Structure 1
């Protein structure tokens, strides 16, 4: 990040994160220790050598800044108002018909289905755009099976789907590709998310929050960022690289599997209702395509 963005970040961590100078390290050096660790995934020994402090000291200030950044995260990672349709979707006839009620996307290869219902169930009459690993059911809108699904499959046709279901799947995958690009630029900026060191489970759960906080801070305050420019290209298709290799994936799965599974009504009437909803979206999309 640029020097002025870094300085403003340190000041915000003082105010919102309650981070203070210590006898041995200024706030700026504490933050540098933290950023070197998450931004380059450097181990404790490398950071010791760089800052000439003991491993115990490096660990102490890493955890201190981690907590401060997560406190700041309450200010810079607030969810959008789900009752308001974002302008990018509201003014785009390609996506408005069914993405106006979308609150996010879930990839079955990365997110365990066994998660607390209070954290994952969206507002009433809204849903997640999910991949083909999920059933089309209440709160989850999946693509049609047996039809072209991934944007790569449309390239030879110059992205011209041949029927209603293919059109729906293409629009569906296009939105999910936006989400995938958001995750990809985050993982490129913070390699620690791809190969999590063997921190305690408590520490691991806060690192993604901290990375998102720093990411949003740069996105908001930086005048020019090459990573955002590179991954903003809508034609860039993200290939699935599977779950992260580090301990984060396994520990998160172990923690989530101990929770109560999502309580959803997946009776046949509800599945038929969601199927009707998807068919209605298809009709609206196809009609708008004909009108334009």
Structure 2
């Protein structure tokens, strides 16, 4: 087209691929299994079951132009790729506004699955991961899971970053999770500022009924690290002794004495929560580089990732990331291995109850030592 003696390129329509977003999703699901995992961070079976769960609870439905499968695919695609919404718009042949709308819709739908998927552990029987392992049985036969906190990326306005920095250079959110020994999350509290220490979040979780923390019944307990109080329901290691598995690896000496042996076995079993965090962060890059969503939406993104984590564990025992992190001796990143240096916040528990839990730990440590010929 010539205007005033110069040529101007005619406008070209954008997103004109012959392969619609729905057709592309069908092609991916019907193609090589590795392609589905690479693009959506889960295999076909888990993807289909996630869609079915969302349809079952009636939080998602087919729209005129976008099926449930495509809506979920958009959400997972945005979580898993650096270019996120702009790349998704080109891939699914929708406007940025449409991509944003469905991302938000699926985000809150997945968070609605929390009450069905992130549920308390069974208190009736000893977990098979303990009962079938002489390393842990019978010492931890009443243990129901492990608890810890981890930091995920947060995108915060410059003038609001101070509470989110903590000991990290970049802003983060601190989230507390409990998990069972089959690597499923049983409780998630996300959205705390990065400067909040683990014990403060823990105290809020267990003391506020609105949080619905799954408190264990009498004589049952979670494993926690030394940043938490050793009290009924929560068994922590001995302070001032070697604890982390790296302290016992390589040229380091094996456990010496009752306390070190207890700490070593405690750390080996509690390591399951660190491995859960390892799977979570490796699967979802968004937890390491959060986009500039609202803080409320960032909080729900972290929760949604935990929900998807559980759905995959429920429906795909052969998921590559779970297989990679199933071994308790797997090398974890430093951020996930090292407990924060923090001052334990005192909880409202009577001194006699604290002494009883301390005596229980001492008896357990002595029994471990005696059984190994110490």
Q: TM-score, normalised by structure 2?
A: 0.64
Compare the two structures and name the one with the higher strand fraction.
Answer: 2
Change (3 A) 1:203 1:173: same
Equivalence for 1:264: 348
Partners of 1:171 and 1:271 in 2: how far apart?
22
Distance in 1 of aligned mates of 2:328 and 2:84: 35
Aligned-pair CA distance for 1:181? 0.7
Decide whether aligned partners of structure 1 residues 159 and 221 sit closer, same or farther in structure 2, where only a CA change above 3 A counts.
Answer: farther
1:12 pairs, out of 47, 53, 56, with 53
Conserved? CA contact 2:54–2:110, under 8 Å: yes
| Greater relative CO (CA pairs within 8 A, separation 6+) | 1
Does residue 36 (structure 1) correspond to residue 130 (structure 2)? The answer is no
In the alignment, which of 123, 129, 134 is matched to residue 217 of structure 2? 123
Provide the secondary structure at the position in 2 that maps to 1:106. Answer: strand
Cα pair distance change 1:10/1:152, threshold 3 Å: same
Residue 37 of structure 1 deviates from its aligned partner by: 1.6
Q: Call closer, same or farther: CA 1:92–1:222 in 2, change over 3 Å.
A: closer
Q: Alpha-carbon deviation of 1:241?
A: 1.1
Deviation at 1:73, TM superposition (A): 4.0
Which structure 1 segments of 5+ residues have no match?
Answer: 244-260
CA distance in 2, matches of 1:174, 1:139: 19
Matches within 5 A, 1:1-292: 1-40=42-81, 42-107=83-148, 110=174, 111=176, 112=198, 113-114=200-201, 115-116=204-205, 117=207, 118=209, 119-120=212-213, 121-156=215-250, 160-222=254-316, 224-241=318-335, 264-265=348-349, 267-290=350-373
RMSD over equivalenced CA pairs, Å:
2.8
Spell out, residue by residue over 1:56-102, the C-alpha distance to the aligned partner (whole angstroms, 9 max, x if none).
22121112112222334433333321232112212323223443333
C-alpha contact (below 8 Å) 1:131/1:143 kept by paired residues: yes
Name which one, 1 or 2, has greater alpha-carbon Rg: 2
Alpha-carbon offset, residue 4 of structure 1: 4.3
Q: 1:286 to 1:7 in 2, by over 3 A?
A: same
Contact 2:123/2:216, CA 8 A, preserved across alignment? no
Change (3 A) 1:239 1:281: farther
Deviation at 1:168, TM superposition (A): 0.2
The structure richer in helix per residue is 1
User: Structure 2 CA distance, aligned partners of 1:147 and 1:64?
Assistant: 49
Q: 1:263 to 1:158 in 2, by over 3 A?
A: closer
TM-score (norm 1): 0.80
Listed as ranges, the gaps of 5+ residues in structure 2 are 1-41, 151-173, 177-197, 338-344
The alignment partner of 1:107 has SS state of strand
Q: In the superposition, relative to structure 1, how do residues 191 and 3 fare at CA in structure 2: closer, same or farther (>3 Å)?
A: same
**Rounded Cα–Cα distance in structure 1 between residues aligned with 2:240 and 2:93:** 59
In 1, Cα distance between equivalents of 2:355 and 2:347: 18
Q: Distance in 2 between matches of 1:162 and 1:203?
A: 48
